[in-house]
Amino acid sequence: MALLLTESDVKALLTMPLALEAVEDSFRRLADGTAISQSRQRVRVPGQALLNYMAAADAAGGYLGLKIYSISRGGARFLIPLIAADSGDLVALIEADYLGQVRTGAASGVATRWMARADARTAGIIGTGLQARTQLEAVALARKLDSVRAFGRDPQRREQFARDMTARLGVPVTPVSSAEEAVRGAQILITATTAAQPVVEGRWLEPGVHINAIGVNYAEKREVDSETVLRSDVIAADSVEQSKIEAGDLIHAFGGDASRWGSVRELADIVGGKAAGRTGLGQITFFKSNGIAIEDIVVAGRIYERARERGLGREVPLWRKEVRAGER
C-alpha cells in the first residue's frame, strides 16, 4: 500500500537543513552517474489547464518517480508518486507544493555554498512571495549573513516580508524602494519573481557578486538582462539541457550564438568536483535554477523515510487483488 502524505505531513517532516543535504546529494549523484533526471514536459488543453511533468531515478537512494503538477485559473496542484526502485511498488503519494518551495530554496543554498565568495555577508533579494522566503532561508544557512535588502512591488508586502524574515533568520532584513537599491553592494543576489521582463540590470552588479536567478522557467521570460549574463564569469545551471528549453535569462542573452551554451556548467559538476564554481574573489557567478526532478525525488525519499519512522501519513490501498466469494 502507498503512504499518502499531505501538505501538513510534509511541513511536519521537511526542514531546510534536511532539504539542503538531500539536494546537494542529488547533484552529487548526478555527477557520479547514480542518478538520472529528465527535463520537464508540458501539455496544455487550449484555454484551459496546463500539465507539467518530469521524472528522475535515484539509484543510490533506491527511488524513482515523477513530479506532476497542473496550473489553471484555480491555482497550481503538485503531486509526487514515489516508487521503490527494487520492487517497482508505489510507496508514497506526496502532496508537493511546500516540498517544491523548500527544495528550490535548497538548490540556491547549494549553489551559494559552492559559488559565492566565502566571505559574502550581504544579500539582496527581489521578490517577496512564498518562494522568496525559502530562498533567503537556504542562503542564510549557506553563508553567515549580516544584512539583507529586499524589494517587491507591493510596499506593504515587502514591509511584512522584512519583518517576518528578520524574526525568522535573526538577520536584519530591510525593505527598499527599488530593485537597484536591493542589488547595489550585494554580495549575494536572489531573484524570485514572476517577471516577464528584466528586473535586474547588469550595470548595477558589484564585482564578486553571486546571483541565484530562480523565478521563471519559460523561454520567453527573464528576470535579468543580457548584460547580467554576459558579465558573469561563471554560469551554472541545475540542468543545461533543460535551460536550453526554458531558461529565458540565458536564451535571450545568448541569442543565436549556440556556442555560448558550451560555457554553461552543470551545478552537479561543481558539486561533484569536476568543475570550479569560483576561482577569484572578483568573479561574478550566476546560477540559473529551473527546478529539476532529481531534487524532488531525493527530497521525497527522505520525507517518506521520516514519515515511516514517525508514523505519519495514511495508507492508501491500491492495486489490491479483489477477493471473490469462494476464492479464500
Instruction: Evaluate if residue 280 carries a pLDDT over 70.
Output: yes
Instruction: Evaluate if residue 268 carries a pLDDT over 60.
Output: yes
Average pLDDT on 232-259 reads 96
Give the pLDDT score at 325.
53
CB 173, CB 194: distance < 8 Å? no
Higher local confidence (pLDDT), 209 or 256: 209
Instruction: Evaluate if residue 328 carries a pLDDT over 90.
Output: no
Instruction: Evaluate if residue 249 carries a pLDDT over 90.
Output: yes
What are the tens digits of pLDDT across the range 116-154? 999 999 999 999 999 999 999 999 999 999 999 999 999
Name beta bridge partners: 237. Answer: 266, 288
What are the tens digits of pLDDT across the range 180-197? 999 999 999 999 999 999
Q: List C-alpha distances in Å: 11 to 26, 100, 262, 270, 312.
A: 21, 11, 39, 30, 11
Q: What rounded mean pLDDT belongs to the chain? A: 96
Name residues whose C-beta falls within 8 Å of residue 218's C-beta, 6 or more positions apart in sequence: 246, 248
Give the pLDDT score at 277.
97
Dihedrals phi, psi of 163, to nearest 5 degrees: -65, -45
Give the pLDDT score at 123.
98
Name residues whose C-beta falls within 8 Å of residue 72's C-beta, 6 or more positions apart in sequence: 48, 49, 50
What are the tens digits of pLDDT across the range 56-115? 999 999 999 999 999 999 999 999 999 999 999 999 999 999 999 999 999 999 999 999
Instruction: Evaluate if residue 323 carries a pLDDT over 80.
Output: no
| Residue corresponding to grid cell 492508501 | 316
CB 42, CB 242: distance < 8 Å? no
Give the pLDDT score at 109.
98
Rounded CA-CA distance 225/209 in Å is 16
Give the pLDDT score at 256.
85
Whole-angstrom distance between the N-terminal and C-terminal Cα of the chain? 20
pLDDT over 70 for what percent of the chain? 97
Domain at 2-100+293-316: CATH architecture: 2-Layer Sandwich (3.30)
β-sheet with 285-288: strand ranges across:
173-175, 147-151, 122-126, 188-191, 210-213, 285-288, 234-237, 264-266
The reply to whether the predicted model has a pTM over 0.85 is yes
Give the pLDDT score at 319.
77
The 8-class DSSP code of residue 13 comes to H
Instruction: Evaluate if residue 299 carries a pLDDT over 90.
Output: yes
Q: According to DSSP H, which parts of the chain are helical?
A: 7-13, 16-32, 97-115, 130-142, 155-169, 179-183, 226-231, 240-246, 248-254, 267-271, 293-310
Q: Which CATH number fits domain 115-288: 3.40.50.720, 3.90.950.10, 3.90.580.10, 1.10.10.60?
A: 3.40.50.720
CB 111, CB 267: distance < 8 Å? yes
Instruction: Evaluate if residue 260 carries a pLDDT over 60.
Output: yes
The 8-class DSSP code of residue 197 comes to S
Give the pLDDT score at 321.
66
Rounded CA-CA distance 149/162 in Å is 8
Give the pLDDT score at 326.
52
Q: Cα 204 vs. chain centroid, distance in angstroms?
A: 25
Nearest to 110 by CA among 170, 14, 27: 27
**In the chain, where are the structural domains located?**
2-100+293-316, 115-288
Instruction: Evaluate if residue 270 carries a pLDDT over 90.
Output: yes
What are the tens digits of pLDDT across the range 224-242? 999 999 999 999 999 999 9
How many helices (H) and strands (E) in the chain? 11, 16
Give the pLDDT score at 322.
58
